[in-house]
Chain A
Amino acid sequence: MAKKRSTKTRRKMPASRLWFISGMTTLAFTSLILRMGYLQVVQGATYRTDASNVAVVSTPVLPPRGYIYSSNGTILARDQYIYDAYLARVPHVHQDYRKMAELLAPIFHTTVQKLLQKMNTSPLSPQVRIAQNLSYTAISYISEHHHQLPGIEIQTDYVRQYPLGDLAGHILGYVGPITPQNESYYVNKLHYLNNQTVGETGIEAEYNKYLEGKAGYEQYLIHSNGSVKSLGLLPPPQSGDNIQLTINSAYQAEAQKIVSDFIQRDDVMRYEINSASAVVLNVKTGAVLALVSYPFYNPNWFVDGNLMKHEKYLNQTSALIDNAIQSPEYPGSSVKPANALAGLETGTITPNTIVDDKGYLKIGNRIFHNWYLPGFGPVNVILALEHSDDTFFYQLGMWFGGWTNQHYPNHESYTQWVKTRFVKAMDTIFGWEYKFGLGQLTGIDLPGEVKGQFYEEDTKKNYEEVPYPLLKAEASMKKYGYFNNWGALPDLAFADIGQSQEFTPIEMAQYVMTLADKGVKYRPYILKAIYPANEVPGAPGSKPIYTMHPKVQARIQLNPKDLHAVYQGMYLMANAPGGLLYQGGFAGSPYHAAGKTGTAQIVLNGKRVDDSVTIAFAPFHHPQIAIAVMVPGGGASTTTASHIAHRLFNAYFEMHHEYFPQSQWLSDHFQATAWLHSFAYKQPEEGVLP
């Protein structure tokens, strides 16, 4: 075998091929050595220099946030350019933090200890911010002493500013750092950087994704001697979009002035009003023209680092709550137009149905008084609305439940009645209010809206007020024909005069706007349009990337005759000498409004007080705006709310140069100086604390 193999091993083993392979290997390795020689010997000195320019550090560059404009072009929120000092950690360079801190501490108006602490935070990150919003002295000191301060760099940053202070503060909201609570949303889901600023409340939060923009990166070449050279932005940051609101800054300022000035009047001061709100809607679209929540707060407090100074004020006044969308209150008689329509549309009454008001109605063994003790005598629905007659609506409420002549219908027992006829009646009253937007979210584009609530008195719980689940009751009635609950007999009377429900001012505004629109229910909204980062709303050539369109949420079918009766009542209330609105300020207006007042008994700080409410729209014949005003603790409707509403109408028409003589016209240009000197601007700063 062995022999055979040796003979069969063909060709003298491939020596030539192996030579070829050695040749190739030699060639390859020689080229390596030649290349080394070129790089290390010939070019070595150049590379040795380059070696010091070693670090390419990329630092995030945050984009400027979009501006917020009013509908008439006033800047409500903007990003201000500031200078910050950073410490870049440079390898191979001896950085004596203590020595640098000693030099810089007096410049930054801080102590060496505090500065050192900042310099030593997050030791692994390539750079750390050590001072914010540098003064020009600090900037020039750093540039002059650069050689003593290796790695100290000045960079630009942005801070949010609200140039008009508390003007529309509740609408705008404010921005802040990403918190542990919203970190999972912004950082994990949207991939924001941890140091990005985000909207915390208001429009800033609602439209954060447009305002935010996108972070970019600046690439730096760090030299071993401590100097830093920028290689440019890769990718550059994308500025946030600009947002325009439906709010008119001049009108919003006027509205805030009207509310705060009126509450501060000597004769009103005695009511100790803690809060108030007013909403003005464009009847044709649902756009919010002004939205006032008193007391005011200044969103700048949350971005300028002086929040501590204002904490006491904020805690004691709860000024951070946007009462207009977050504070449901008893509406009182202002729900009567809806309830009257419920009666008319269900055929429970006709426009000619008469109730003889003797000043009270006896229900069971209890007496329920009209607010006007002598009573108005025989009234129909129109007069009942004009005078806000309680007796009429007590009676209507009881009729809904089939309760006539002090008797349950068909000699039913209470237990049987409360599960069926009572529920049907409550569902009729509350259901019609619900149709108009009361007791449900309006869908306004602001975060944190709270919805109103319906109540009944629980006979099993000593007549304690408990929530009445309207939708559940309706569903149960439909499915089983009954709904288990322990409501009290007079609940129907209470509900019909607005003492068994709580609604927010925005709900009330949507309700009166829907009345003015003959049953067409628009969604209230604040965003007018979104513009690209570099375009100013209203400037020639600027084009929005998004425009909000009015949205009809529902169309309520109403018999024109019924609506006419209700309109008449609401018209007389504002225009007839017997009407409460007429008496409460609307007398002699050059325009004709229609509306309804409300005075509800509420408990505030342990005291029994009144919630002063007014809803109204004007002009009566071609409605332009609808207004809702609620002042808990403001006394009767005609003491505060109706006056505020009246002034809001006046201001609107004076700005629109309608009805009023030219001498009384107001400019619709925003008067910044006047605003900055107004009490409404200074109010949160000076405080309304006792």
Chain B
Amino acid sequence: MVLACLDEMEGRCFVETLRRNIRDMDFTVLGVLVLLAVYSCVAILAATYGKTDVGLPKHIIYRQILFEMIGWIAMTAITLYDYRSLRKNYWWIIGGAGFLLLVVFVMPRRNGAHSWIPLGPFSFQPSEVAKLAMIIGMAVFMADIDESEVPDYSFRRVWPLLIMFIVPFVLTFKEPALGQALVLLAIFVTMYCVFAKRWHFVMLIFFTIALVAGIGVVAVMYPQESTKLIENVLIKHHLLHSYQAYRIITWLNPQEYPLSYGYNIRISQIAVGSGQVFGEGLFNGIETRGNWIPNQWTDYIFTAIAEEFGFVGSSLLVLLFLILCYRLIRIAGTSQDSFGTYIVTGIVALIAFQVFENIGADMYLSPSTGITLPFISYGGSSLVIDYMGVGLALSVALRRKKLRFN
């Protein structure tokens, strides 16, 4: 089929390909994205209704709609772009992202962190770009090893992967943006899971489970001692900023600082819980309307949905994310090359981890680290990058291996 096409005029070939592939387009993903966009706009309206906070951007809903439009255009463009070209151009992306991550340190602090580059009326977060750039860089490297004459998965050969992860991780951590750094870690671990040799994979899973379980057991059984450890070791030696450490401390022991550090955790959990089954109704949430939740339109957007639409509304949202992830994993599995598989895996990790971490933090399931809820939180950088990520996945989907009968 492809060979036949080569004989024809190029333009016609493109249109023909598109026409045939449009049927291969993943409409489920698009449908889910439309629903998420609607969720986002309604949630932002609810979270900002009648509020006059100092930090609240003017015309926030129109700005968000504008970001949605930019996101859809970017996604469409990237879908039509052949992702395979990235294997040649990836250095531009990695270099650009690295440069932006350095530039951000000379920018003025906002909320205590060098996370933003101001661009006229908007501003932009390089750590969002870094996530996508790292996915592409690692995917290129992994695919190259997969396709080499004698694939070598030993550390001798794969150590550059570690550099590709460590550099952005440290820079992001230093901004400081602990949440974004953890997203990078999640992406790295997930992609490596898919890439690693069986034996390495087993070891990785084993150690991850052991570590998480170990920390979990110690934290649950000895909350006081854990708190002390964090205060005396992590804070004292400046391994974590004190507010970051206190987020973890309050997660371990919410009674510790009920009025200061523990406030956000307590108030967001109350907001979620008070939604009950059907919610308090749009613009009717006690916490949401009363403006008790700080930054509700960004990191705590889920509390607005949970409080005003209840279990029904919030579990539907999680289901939408689950559907999105399933579809993306399906694309990863049907990619015509391992490069596509790795890219889509990374994007799944990005979305899934952020969803779990963000929503979990509001429900006292994971420590609060300050990251956005993909596709829902207000904010141009994260929204456009999320759409671009899905665009890459769709680009893989359009070109996946498939038997065609026409």
Supposing A36-B314, A41-B277 touch, asked if A9 and B146 sit within 8 A by C-beta, the answer is yes
**Is A234 part of the binding interface, using a Cβ–Cβ cutoff of 8 Å?**
yes
Are B270 and A31 in contact, CB atoms less than 8 angstroms apart?
no
Give the residue of B151, B258, B270, B291 whose beta carbon is less than 8 angstroms from that of A47: B270
Bound CA span A92–B280, Å: 14
Question: What are 28 A-B contacts with C-beta separation under 8 Å?
Answer: A8-B147, A9-B147, A13-B338, A14-B341, A17-B193, A17-B194, A18-B194, A18-B332, A18-B333, A25-B322, A29-B318, A29-B322, A32-B355, A32-B359, A36-B318, A37-B311, A39-B273, A40-B276, A40-B277, A40-B314, A43-B273, A47-B274, A47-B276, A48-B274, A50-B274, A91-B289, A92-B286, A224-B286
| Nearest 7 Cβ contacts at the A-B interface | A47-B273, A44-B276, A51-B274, A40-B311, A39-B273, A91-B290, A48-B274
Give the residue of A5, A24, A37 whose beta carbon is less than 8 angstroms from that of B337: A5
Bound CA span A92–B201, Å: 54
Are B322 and A14 in contact, CB atoms less than 8 angstroms apart?
no
Chain B contact patch, size range: 35 or more
Give the residue of A47, A51, A234 whose beta carbon is less than 8 angstroms from that of B259: A234
Interface of A is mostly: helix
How far does the Cβ of A244 sit from chain B's closest Cβ, in whole Å?
A: 38
How far does the Cβ of A496 sit from chain B's closest Cβ, in whole Å?
A: 70
Contact with A along B35-76 (1 / 0, CB 8 A): 000000000000000000000000000000000000000000
Supposing A51-B287, A92-B289 touch, asked if A58 and B311 sit within 8 A by C-beta, the answer is no
User: A18-B332, A26-B322, A47-B274 provided; 8 other pairs, C-beta below 8 A?
Assistant: A8-B149, A18-B345, A29-B319, A29-B356, A36-B314, A48-B273, A56-B259, A234-B259
Interfacial chain A residues near B263, Cβ < 8 Å: 56
Tell me the nearest residue of chain A to B271, going by C-beta. Answer: A51
Tell me the nearest residue of chain A to B193, going by C-beta. Answer: A17
Bound CA span A231–B338, Å: 59
Q: From residue 37 to 63 of chain A, which have CB atoms closer than 8 A to chain B? A: 37, 39-41, 43-48, 50-52, 54-56, 58
Bound CA span A234–B259, Å: 9
Bound CA span A285–B78, Å: 89
Bound CA span A672–B252, Å: 61
How far does the Cβ of B336 sit from chain A's closest Cβ, in whole Å?
A: 9
Are B274 and A28 in contact, CB atoms less than 8 angstroms apart?
no
Supposing A8-B149, A29-B356, A36-B306 touch, asked if A21 and B190 sit within 8 A by C-beta, the answer is yes
Give the residue of A17, A36, A43, A56 whose beta carbon is less than 8 angstroms from that of B315: A36
Interfacial chain B residues near A33, Cβ < 8 Å: 315, 318-319
**Is A35 part of the binding interface, using a Cβ–Cβ cutoff of 8 Å?**
yes
Supposing A21-B190, A29-B356, A36-B318 touch, asked if A15 and B333 sit within 8 A by C-beta, the answer is yes
**Is A10 part of the binding interface, using a Cβ–Cβ cutoff of 8 Å?**
yes
Are A55 and B290 in contact, CB atoms less than 8 angstroms apart?
yes
Tell me the nearest residue of chain B to A2, going by C-beta. Answer: B2
Are B270 and A50 in contact, CB atoms less than 8 angstroms apart?
yes
Bound CA span A31–B335, Å: 29
Give the interface of A toward B (CB within 8 A): 5, 8-10, 13-15, 17-18, 20-22, 24-26, 28-29, 31-33, 35-37, 39-41, 43-48, 50-52, 54-56, 58, 91-92, 219, 224, 231, 234
Tell me the nearest residue of chain A to B52, going by C-beta. Answer: A124
How far does the Cβ of B363 sit from chain A's closest Cβ, in whole Å?
A: 5
Are B325 and A22 in contact, CB atoms less than 8 angstroms apart?
yes
Are B269 and A55 in contact, CB atoms less than 8 angstroms apart?
no
Supposing A14-B341, A29-B321, A54-B267 touch, asked if A40 and B273 sit within 8 A by C-beta, the answer is yes
**Is B360 part of the binding interface, using a Cβ–Cβ cutoff of 8 Å?**
yes
Bound CA span A28–B321, Å: 11
Are B348 and A21 in contact, CB atoms less than 8 angstroms apart?
yes
Interfacial chain A residues near B170, Cβ < 8 Å: none
Interfacial chain B residues near A5, Cβ < 8 Å: 147, 337
Are B267 and A22 in contact, CB atoms less than 8 angstroms apart?
no
Supposing A13-B341, A18-B333, A56-B259 touch, asked if A32 and B274 sit within 8 A by C-beta, the answer is no
Supposing A14-B194, A37-B311, A92-B290 touch, asked if A44 and B359 sit within 8 A by C-beta, the answer is no
Give the residue of A17, A40, A54 whose beta carbon is less than 8 angstroms from that of B290: A54
Bound CA span A18–B334, Å: 11
Interfacial chain B residues near A44, Cβ < 8 Å: 273-277, 311
Supposing A25-B322, A28-B352, A32-B360 touch, asked if A13 and B273 sit within 8 A by C-beta, the answer is no
Bound CA span A9–B142, Å: 12
